[in-house]
Amino acid sequence: MSKFIMIIFGASGDLTKRKLMPALYTLYKGGRLPEGFSILGIGRTSYTDNYYREYILNELHRFVPAAEQVEQQMTDFCNHLFYQTLNPAEAGEYGLLNERLEAISGEEQPDNLLFYLATPPSLYGVIPLHLKAAGLNRPHTRIIVEKPFGYDLNSARELNEVYASVFQEHQIYRIDHFLGKETAQNILAFRFANGIFEPLWNRNYIDYVEITAVENLGIEGRGGFYEDTGALRDMVQNHLVQLVALTAMEPPAVFNADNFRNEVVKVYESLAPLTEEDLEEHIVRGQYTASGSKAGYREEKGVASDSRTETYIAMKIGINNWRWSGVPFYIRTGKQMPTKVSEIVVHFRETPHRMFRCEGGNCPRANKLILRLQPNEGIVLKFGMKAPGSGFDVKQVMMDFSYDKLGGLPVGDAYARLIEDCIAGDATLFTRSDAVEASWRFFDPVLRYWKEHADAPLYGYPAGTWGPLESEAMMHEHGAEWTNPCKNLTNTDEYCEL
């Protein structure tokens, strides 16, 4: 096998400096990169190798946690970096890439290559074709492509056709960094490694499921990108539906890439098709408005003053199979929320008969299981217990586990985990082409409905709040309610009950 070279398109961009380089440094520091590796940055900006190394070293000081910074190791890591000025949209410039790869590797036509597309989505369908024309789609070459993979079903199919014409499926790694999070993977271990939960994991015992992934920031100067994307494309079609799959999937016969991803696709194909009523009543989209010192979305740079782009979306979806029939899954994502949190909340059914009295404001509700992905990664189980003293007053209590209590072990970097898996050729946590299309088949009617109904509601919500009140009303028809973590969350037990 030839020398390993990772080529990053978009090497001077935000994703590279904030996520990719810190992740690669983490792998290097842990001795988890191939011996003699090189990283070649590609971009339009004109840098020399030495300037690029100094630039990345400075950015590592900004984005690597202080406790993990080892100056000599950071410098040594940056010595493995190279840079080639090149316009990725111009096919004629890829000869320069070929020459540079041969110079770095010392080999003719090196093929142990990993391409990473940290570029605008407009280049996702262009770069693979240029790589093919330059003869860079070699047998051991792999390619990682970021989300969104397509803007709708047709564009996703077209992209899949482009990639299939250049690479084989096992060479294509469609990345979703949510699946790189240790706690996302732990959902599978929690369900399938414990005999006490899986027998209850069905419509007989579960009333409803809610999945939340929200941020307390706005669009951070990415108005041009977000205007063409919106919350559905940015978060729902990929991240949230992946979490639905992890929650709802059947246990794979064997835990490997093919079997795991087969079960994910089965969940997507079981999603209940959206009816006209669903499109009108069970989808709530919103857009944050100015509040206090926080600007409204339409006041952000690069955003139209009459923009109809959603920064919040909540949906009720169903799954048509024996395990989940009749159990609603409520999903939501939004910008400018009171806090940043990603979690899955499983609401079990009420006991069939209430035997014990309850006094005060801490009356037991149905059992609730909270799987927290971020922050303060952990698991919380809420259940009723007898209060000390005479009588049988029952109160709600919590049993919680957090990863920071697990021997001080770090949770790990999602990008580091996924890049390492790709280097090793393990595609388990990456999205397959049929899953991309199955997901888009479900969500495509939403985009079409919004396009065809310009008067479809877009509710304003003040920045720093939990979104439009209409999303609460959507859940009330099931007798449900959102679980809202407190602002400035510091512990797994800090929840603001409605």
Catalytic residue among 80, 130, 170, 239: 239
- Residue 100, domain CATH: 3.40.50.720
Is the Cβ–Cβ distance between 131 and 91 less than 8 Å? no
- Both 329 and 461 in one domain: the answer is yes
252: preceding bond cis by omega (within 30 degrees): no
d(CA 4, CA 226): 35
- Both 97 and 33 in one domain: the answer is yes
Please, which residues have CB within 8 angstroms of residue 58's CB and are 6 or more apart in sequence?
A: none
Highest mean pLDDT among 115-129, 349-363, 403-417: 115-129
- Residue 286, domain CATH: 3.30.360.10
pLDDT at residue 498 greater than cutoff 60: no
Binding site members for NADP(+): 10-17, 44, 147
Q: What pLDDT, in 10s, does the model give residues 139-162?
A: 999 999 998 899 999 999 999 999
Query: Which pLDDT score is estimated for 494?
Result: 47
Q: What does the pLDDT average to over 270-279?
A: 96
Dihedral, CA of residue 46, residue 51, residue 52 and residue 57, to nearest 10? -150
Residue 487 pLDDT level (bands cut at 50, 70, 90): low
Binding site members: 10-17, 44, 147, 177, 181, 215, 234, 335, 340
Residue 497 pLDDT level (bands cut at 50, 70, 90): very low
- Both 96 and 189 in one domain: the answer is no
- Both 357 and 251 in one domain: the answer is yes
- Both 224 and 128 in one domain: the answer is no
Mean pLDDT of the chain: 90
Query: Which pLDDT score is estimated for 486?
Result: 66
- Both 129 and 188 in one domain: the answer is no
Number of structural domains the chain divides into: 2
Cα–Cα separations (whole angstroms), residue 346 to 211, 254, 327, 372, 399: 9, 26, 11, 11, 15
Please, which residues have CB within 8 angstroms of residue 328's CB and are 6 or more apart in sequence?
A: 208, 209, 316, 317, 318, 478, 480
Is the Cβ–Cβ distance between 172 and 178 less than 8 Å? no
The answer to whether residue 239 is catalytic is yes
Nearest to 242 by CA among 442, 404, 402, 381: 442
Residue 217: what residue type? L
Q: What pLDDT, in 10s, does the model give residues 224-250?
A: 889 989 999 999 999 999 999 999 999
Is the Cβ–Cβ distance between 306 and 298 less than 8 Å? yes
Residue 161 lies in a domain: no
> Phi first, then psi: what are they for 243, rounded to 5°?
-70, -35
Residue 493 pLDDT level (bands cut at 50, 70, 90): very low
Residue 242 lies in a domain: yes
Structural domain of 444: 179-407+435-477
- Both 201 and 75 in one domain: the answer is no
Q: Are strands 172-174 and 206-214 parallel, antiparallel or unpaired?
A: unpaired
- Both 214 and 135 in one domain: the answer is no
- Both 111 and 211 in one domain: the answer is no
- Both 183 and 88 in one domain: the answer is no
Residue 36: what residue type? G
Q: In what order do the strands lie in the sheet with 38-43?
A: 81-85, 38-43, 5-9, 113-117, 142-145, 172-174
Query: Which pLDDT score is estimated for 177?
Result: 81
Query: Which pLDDT score is estimated for 488?
Result: 47
Q: What pLDDT, in 10s, does the model give residues 50-73?
A: 999 999 999 999 999 998 999 999
Residue 22 pLDDT level (bands cut at 50, 70, 90): very high
Tokens of 449: 């409905």
Binding site members for substrate: 177, 181, 215, 234, 335, 340
Residue 482 lies in a domain: no
Residue 173 pLDDT level (bands cut at 50, 70, 90): very high
pLDDT at residue 43 greater than cutoff 90: yes
Is the Cβ–Cβ distance between 482 and 212 less than 8 Å? yes
Query: Which pLDDT score is estimated for 459?
Result: 97
- CA angle (431 as vertex; 3, 404 as ends), nearest 5: 85
| Element containing residue 372 per DSSP (H, E) | strand 368-374
Residue 429 lies in a domain: no
Q: What pLDDT, in 10s, does the model give residues 386-416?
A: 777 666 777 777 888 877 666 544 556 789 9
Nearest to 37 by CA among 418, 412, 429, 420: 420
Q: What percent of the chain has pLDDT over 70?
A: 92
Residue 493 lies in a domain: no
Residue 402 lies in a domain: yes
Q: What pLDDT, in 10s, does the model give residues 318-331?
A: 999 999 999 999 99
- Both 133 and 259 in one domain: the answer is no
- Both 346 and 224 in one domain: the answer is yes
